[in-house]
C-alpha cells in the first residue's frame, strides 16, 4: 500500500507544472570506477519515464586511465549511445576518470561538447559546472585560481537568480565542513546564497545543510561500491530535483523506491565513519616475513558507542586455503556504552600467501531504528629482516650486482581493503651496512610505453605518476617520520612529518639525503637507492618503522606492503637490521 502511495505521489509531482519557470532535472552519480553491468543503462531507462527538462551527471562516466585515444573514444561512444534515448539535454561534469591528462581532456570536450567549467540558465535558475577532475581534494582557490576567479565573477553576475545550483565531481568542501574550518569555496557558496551543491566521487550518498546551502553527494549510478548497505549510503540511485518558483526540493530515487534527501544525514555518515574505527579494535598483529607456519592467539575489543544494544554475532570471513580462525562466529551482546573483550586464534597454512586478509562483519545499530554492517580486514604490521652487506652495491639503477641476488625480495602486496592487489609484479630488495640502508625495486609493467612519468623536478607532482611511496620511522617513536615518493625517472617528492594532536604535520621544504638512480629492463622499471642512516637521525640501530606502496596508473591500482597504509606511523611495518 505504501509503495502504491509513493508511486501516485511521484506521478502527481511529474504532472504538476506551476508555470513556465518551473524546472525538473535529474542528477546522475558516478557510472565508474568498475561499472556494474546494466545498472547505468537501467537508470537511464527509468529517467526516460520521469520526463525531466534535462539531466546532469557529477562525473566519472568512463573507466579510469585508458591506453590511447581510441580506447577513450570507444568508452565515450558507449556512454553517448546509452543516453541518446533521452529526449532532453544532458549536461556533463568532468570526473577524475574522465579527465586525467591533456589527451583525455581534449577528448572529453570533443565528445561531450562541453567545456571543462561553464554555466547556463534554466527558467529563473542559474547552474554552474566546476572542474576539479585533476585537482580533486585540493581547495579550488589554491589549485586553480583562474577557475575560482571565474566562479566568483559568475556568481556575482547571476546573484539575482532565484536559485543557484553548483555541480562538481569531488566534494572537496567536506574537509572544511567536517572540521568547521574556513574554506573560500564554502564562503562563496554562502555569500551568494547558493541553494544546493551536488557532487559525486565517494560512491556513497550523503546530505547536509550548512548556512542554508544543501550539500548533496550523489553515490553510485553504476559504479562499484564497497557493499550495498543503504544505511551507509551505498545503493544505486539518482536524484530528482524540482524547482517551482521559490520552492526547490530533491528526492533520492532507487529502483522502485523514493527516499527523502536526508536518508543518510551528515550526522549518520560521520557517525558510521567513526564507528568503523572505534567499535571493534584489535591489538597489533605482527607478521614475520619468510617464517614458517604461524599461529597467533589474540583478543579484540568491542566498544558499543551507539545508543542502542548490539545483539548480533561478529562473523569472520577468510580464505580457508590460507587461514583458520577459531571461533569463526562470536556472539556479541552489549548495551550502549558497554565494552567487552573476546579471544580468537588465527593460524596460517604453510607457505600460504597472506592476501586476501581475513575480515570481519558485525551489525551495528548506530542510531535508533538504523543498523549498518561494520566490515574491516585485520590490520597487519609486517616485519622484514634486512640483510647485512659486507660491501654495499654501487647505485646505478641496474640490478646486476650479485649483492642483490642474495636478498629475498618482498613481492606480496595488497589493496587498501586487504584484498590481493592486481598491480603487476613488484620486487622490493632491502639491505644495509653500518652507514647506509639500500633499497632496490623492480616494477614489472607489460606496457612500459604507457608509464605516466610527467614530474621532472623534485617535489613536483611525483605522486600523480607511476611511483613508489615509502615511509620511514627511523627512531621508532611513532611520532616523527619521513616520506619519500619516487617515479620511474628517479624524480623524488619528499618531506619530513610529525604527528601533532593526532594529525600529520608535514614540511615540504625538507629535502632528504637520498641517492637515487633509475633504469629500465625489457619488462620492468628499476629504482636503486642509498640512504645514509646518519642523515635521518636520530635513528634506531636495530629496527625502523617502514612501509611502502606501488602505484600503477595504467591499471588505476595500488599495491601496499603493511596495512593499514597511510600517515600513521603506529601502523607502519617494521624492518629489522641483521
Are residues 393 and 364 both part of a single domain?
A: no
Provide the grid cell at 505: 604535520
Provide the grid cell at 140: 579550488
Strand partners, 362: 374
* DSSP for residue 221: S
CATH number of the domain enclosing 461? 2.60.40.1190
238: containing domain: 2-12+22-264
CATH number of the domain enclosing 347? 2.60.40.2310
Q: Which of 222, 237, 264 is the last residue before a domain boundary?
A: 264
Provide the grid cell at 51: 520526463
Strand partners, 347: 295, 324
Is the residue at 270 inside a domain? no
- Closest by CA to 280, choosing from 330, 231, 205, is 330
Provide the grid cell at 437: 640502508
CATH number of the domain enclosing 87? 3.60.21.10
Per-residue pLDDT of the chain (578 residues), as tens digits, is 445 444 444 444 444 444 467 999 999 999 998 999 999 999 999 999 899 999 999 999 999 877 678 999 999 999 999 999 999 999 999 999 999 999 999 999 999 999 999 999 999 999 999 999 999 999 999 989 999 999 999 999 999 999 999 999 999 999 899 889 999 999 999 999 999 999 999 999 999 999 999 999 999 999 998 889 999 999 999 999 999 999 999 999 997 675 678 888 998 999 999 999 899 998 888 888 877 667 888 999 999 999 999 999 999 999 998 899 999 999 999 999 999 999 999 998 866 678 899 999 999 999 888 999 999 888 889 999 999 999 999 999 999 888 999 999 999 999 998 999 999 999 999 999 999 999 999 999 999 999 999 999 999 999 999 999 999 999 999 999 999 999 999 999 999 999 998 899 999 999 999 999 999 999 999 999 999 999 998 999 999 999 999 999 999 999 999 999 999 999 999 999 98
Cis peptide before 209 (omega within 30 of 0): no
Are residues 453 and 552 both part of a single domain?
A: yes
Specify whether the CB–CB gap between 375 and 227 falls below 8 A.
yes
Are residues 335 and 396 both part of a single domain?
A: no
Cα 121 to Cα 197: distance, rounded to the nearest angstrom: 16
Contacts by residues 499-504 (CB-CB < 8 Å, ≥ 24 positions apart): 499/567, 499/568, 499/569, 504/567
What is the DSSP track for 258-322? EEETTSSBHHHHHHHHHHHHHTEE----EEETT-S--EEEEEEEEE--SSS-EEEEEEEE--TTT
What is the DSSP track for 436-496? EEEEEEEEE-TTGGG------STTSSGGGSSEEEEEEETT--SSEEEEEEE-TT--EEEEE
pTM greater than 0.75? no
Is the residue at 169 inside a domain? yes
Is the residue at 399 inside a domain? yes
- CA 467-469-470 angle, to 5 degrees, is 150
Are residues 508 and 534 both part of a single domain?
A: yes
Are residues 480 and 562 both part of a single domain?
A: yes
Are residues 213 and 100 both part of a single domain?
A: yes
Specify whether the CB–CB gap between 152 and 114 falls below 8 A.
no
Q: Which of 217, 240, 264 is the last residue before a domain boundary?
A: 264
Is the residue at 27 inside a domain? yes
Is the residue at 294 inside a domain? yes
Q: What is the helix (H) or strand (E) element at residue 70, kind and residue range?
A: helix 68-83
Are residues 448 and 553 both part of a single domain?
A: yes
Is the residue at 269 inside a domain? no
Are residues 280 and 256 both part of a single domain?
A: no
Are residues 192 and 327 both part of a single domain?
A: no
Are residues 385 and 373 both part of a single domain?
A: no
Cα 200 to Cα 220: distance, rounded to the nearest angstrom: 8
Are residues 204 and 330 both part of a single domain?
A: no
Are residues 401 and 471 both part of a single domain?
A: yes
Specify whether the CB–CB gap between 59 and 200 falls below 8 A.
yes
User: How many distinct structural domains can be found in the chain?
Assistant: 3
Is the residue at 492 inside a domain? yes
Is the residue at 17 inside a domain? no
Q: Which of 346, 377, 408 is the last residue before a domain boundary?
A: 377
Amino acid at each position: 500500500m505504501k509503495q502504491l502511495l509513493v508511486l501516485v505521489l511521484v506521478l502527481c509531482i511529474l504532472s504538476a507544472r506551476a508555470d513556465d519557470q518551473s524546472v525538473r532535472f535529474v542528477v546522475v552519480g558516478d557510472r565508474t570506477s568498475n561499472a556494474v553491468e546494466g545498472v547505468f543503462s537501467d537508470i537511464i531507462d527509468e529517467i526516460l519515464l520521469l520526463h525531466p527538462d534535462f539531466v546532469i551527471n557529477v562525473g566519472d562516466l568512463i573507466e579510469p586511465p585508458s591506453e590511447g585515444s581510441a580506447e577513450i573514444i570507444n568508452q565515450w561512444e558507449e556512454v553517448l549511445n546509452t543516453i541518446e534515448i533521452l529526449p532532453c539535454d544532458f549536461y556533463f561534469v568532468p570526473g577524475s576518470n574522465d579527465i586525467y591528462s591533456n589527451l583525455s581532456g581534449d577528448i572529453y570536450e570533443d565528445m561531450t561538447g562541453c567545456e571543462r567549467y561553464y554555466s547556463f540558465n534554466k527558467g529563473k535558475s542559474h547552474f554552474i559546472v566546476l572542474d576539479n577532475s585533476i585537482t580533486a581534494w585540493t581547495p579550488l582557490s589554491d589549485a586553480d585560481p583562474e577557475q575560482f576567479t571565474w566562479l566568483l565573477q559568475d556568481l556575482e553576475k547571476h546573484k539575482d537568480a532565484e536559485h543557484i545550483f553548483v555541480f562538481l565531481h569531488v566534494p572537496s568542501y567536506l574537509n572544511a565542513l567536517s572540521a568547521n574550518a574556513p574554506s573560500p569555496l564554502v564562503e562563496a557558496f554562502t555569500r551568494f546564497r547558493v541553494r544546493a551543491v551536488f557532487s559525486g566521487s565517494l560512491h556513497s550518498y550523503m546530505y547536509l545543510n550548512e548556512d542554508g546551502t544543501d550539500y548533496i553527494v550523489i553515490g553510485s549510478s553504476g559504479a562499484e561500491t564497497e557493499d550495498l548497505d543503504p544505511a551507509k549510503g551505498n545503493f544505486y540511485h539518482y536524484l530528482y530535483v524540482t524547482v517551482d518558483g521559490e520552492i526547490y526540493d530533491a528526492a533520492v530515487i532507487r529502483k522502485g523506491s523514493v527516499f527523502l534527501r536526508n536518508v543518510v544525514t551528515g550526522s549518520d555518515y560521520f557517525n558510521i565513519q567513526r564507528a568503523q574505527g572505534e567499535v571493534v579494535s584489535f591489538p597489533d598483529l605482527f607478521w614475520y616475513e619468510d617464517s614458517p607456519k604461524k599461529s597467533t592467539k589474540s583478543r579484540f575489543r568491542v566498544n558499543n558507542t551507539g545508543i542502542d544494544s548490539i545483539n548480533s554475532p561478529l562473523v569472520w570471513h577468510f580464505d580457508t586455503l590460507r587461514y583458520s580462525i577459531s571461533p569463526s562466529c562470536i556472539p556479541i551482546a552489549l548495551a550502549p556504552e558497554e565494552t567487552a573483550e573476546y579471544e580468537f586464534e588465527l593460524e596460517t597454512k604453510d607457505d600460504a600467501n597472506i592476501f586476501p586478509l581475513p575480515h570481519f562483519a558485525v551489525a551495528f545499530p548506530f542510531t535508533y531504528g538504523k543498523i549498518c554492517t561494520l566490515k574491516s580486514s585485520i590490520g597487519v604490521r609486517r616485519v622484514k629482516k634486512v640483510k647485512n652487506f659486507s660491501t654495499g652495491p654501487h647505485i646505478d639503477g641496474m640490478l646486476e650486482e650479485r649483492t642483490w641476488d642474495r636478498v629475498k625480495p618482498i613481492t606480496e602486496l595488497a589493496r587498501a581493503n586487504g584484498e590481493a592487489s592486481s598491480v603487476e609484479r613488484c620486487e622490493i630488495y632491502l639491505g644495509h651496512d653500518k652507514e647506509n640502508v639500500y633499497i632496490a625495486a623492480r616494477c614489472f609493467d607489460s606496457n612500459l610505453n604507457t608509464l605516466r612519468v610527467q614530474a621532472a623536478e623534485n617535489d613536483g607532482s611525483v605522486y600523480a605518476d607511476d611511483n613508489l611511496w615509502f615511509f620511514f620511522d627511523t627512531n621508532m617513536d611513532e611520532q616523527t617520520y619521513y616520506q619519500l615518493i619516487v617515479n620511474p625517472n628517479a624524480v623524488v617528492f619528499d618531506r619530513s612529518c610529525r604527528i601533532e594532536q593526532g594529525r600529520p604535520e608535514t614540511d615540504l621544504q625538507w629535502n632528504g639525503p637520498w641517492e637515487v638512480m633509475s633504469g629500465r629492463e625489457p619488462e620492468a622499471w628499476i629504482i636503486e637507492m642509498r640512504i645514509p642512516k646518519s642523515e635521518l637521525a636520530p635513528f634506531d640501530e636495530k629496527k625502523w618503522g617502514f612501509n611502502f606502496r606501488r602505484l600503477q596508473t595504467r591499471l588505476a591500482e595500488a599495491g601496499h606492503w603493511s596495512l593499514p597504509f597511510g600517515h600513521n606511523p603506529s601502523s607502519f611495518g617494521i624492518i629489522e637490521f641483521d
